[in-house]
Amino acid sequence: MRAVAVTPGKEGFELIEVPESPVVKGKVKLKTLYVGICGTDKAIVNNALGFVRPPPGEDKLIIGHEGLAKVVEVGEGVEGLKEGDFVVPMVRRGGNCFHSRFGRQDYCEDESFVEAGIRGLHGFQREYFVDEPEYLVRVKDQDLGVFAVLTEPMKNVMKVIEVLQHAVARYYEVCEDSTLSCLKAVIAGWGTEGALLAMALKYLGVEEITAFSREESEEKVKVAELLNVEYFATKGGKANVRDFHLFFDMTGSPEVVVEGVEGIRNNGVVVLFGTNDRAPSHELRAEVITKVVEKNLTIVGSVDGSKGNYEQALTLISYWYARDKRVLEYFLEGAIYAPEEFGEALKHRGLKAVVKW
């Protein structure tokens, strides 16, 4: 069968032939339906991520971590899954860390975990794979079809929301009528994860969302319009945003984060969600630290998510499917590529590129 692989340490990818694995006791055989591509995949192909590694004893890594697959065979002793079920396979698994004992390997204290398609475990850009049921999240609402491929990136957002709830619990940041409608949120960096985050914030009742990115594009303007988000391009200048409660950074740029800290209101929460080791460095001035202290700010980082976060992501996608399907459709407009077109898919300009297997 075909698979898309990289050789960690080298730039580029190849479409290779690999043998199919048979289903064994306690495992499930899956036919891959769709696999999304994100910034992590692009960085892997460009050899720009230090932690990428193949499974032990191999030199190639099959990439792809935004999967949607169909159960084709269930091994002996497997419960809760049957042929025909749609599932989303989880990215991060196992490890010897304490947190992975109760399914929170997204909070692993050490590096003992693996991530499918990223570090130490093959991913899902291949025709079939055999997997462990504990890492498969069943899609209860199968009507979602291809849109369920957005579950994996959305689970990162659901963890951010979880983190946010912990952060705001240190004080009482709700509006007088107990809703979140008076809160203002700013999203720095307006791409796929930013738009998914806006979908989660809108669901929670945060009405006023401003987003910015360096360069404007037709896609960015259109998705902002669909989500009723106020959007502008900074074109390299400052964003000059002021007087907001929540700041989400998708850029990984120190300069942008400092601007967020400077503009945010007292008790604000700054969530760091994007990484970019190649972003220009920026000085951390003493006044910035004073601001963090004096304003009671919470600055918090978040990566990956738990099985619970995948389930919440599916629920949120179902919500948007019912509320305004156009938003989901827009994500996947012209975005479906064949495995042979993987190179073109990497260069896709819209919000999300997806390989159909």
Binding site for Zn ion (CB under 5 A): 38, 40
Identify which of 71, 64, 80 has the alpha carbon closest to the alpha carbon of residue 31: 71
**Is residue 46 within the footprint of ligand BGC (CB under 6 A)?**
no
Structural contact between residues 33 and 334, judged by C-beta atoms closer than 8 angstroms = no
Radius of gyration of the chain (CA): 20
Backbone angles phi, psi at 256, to 5 degrees: -65, -40
Contact status: 193 vs ligand BGC (CB under 6 A): no
Count helices and strands in the chain by DSSP H and E runs: 9, 19
Q: Which is nearer to ligand BGC, 168 or 351 (CB)?
A: 351
| In the complex, least distance from residue 334 CB atom to Zn ion, rounded to whole angstroms | 20
Q: Looking at beta carbons only, is 38 or 114 nearer to Zn ion?
A: 38
Q: Which of 29, 61, 115, 353 binds ligand BGC (CB under 6 A)?
A: 115
Give the separation between CA 40 and CA 168, rounded to whole angstroms: 29
Beta bridge partners of 88: 137
Instruction: Compute the Cα dihedral for 142, 346, 123, 187 and give only its sign.
Output: negative
Of 29 and 159, the one with the shorter C-beta distance to ligand BGC is 159
* Minimal distance, residue 216 CB to ligand BGC, in Å: 24
Build a one-symbol-per-residue string for 304-323: x at contacts with ligand BGC by CB under 6 A, - elsewhere.
x-------------------
Q: Considering CB distances under 5 to 8 angstroms, the limit depending on partner class, which of ligand BGC, Zn ion, none binds residue 304? A: ligand BGC
Interacting residue with ligand BGC among 118, 137, 163, 180 (CB under 6 A): 118
Applying CB under 6 A, the residues found at the interface with ligand BGC are 38, 40, 65, 91-92, 115, 118, 152, 156, 303-304
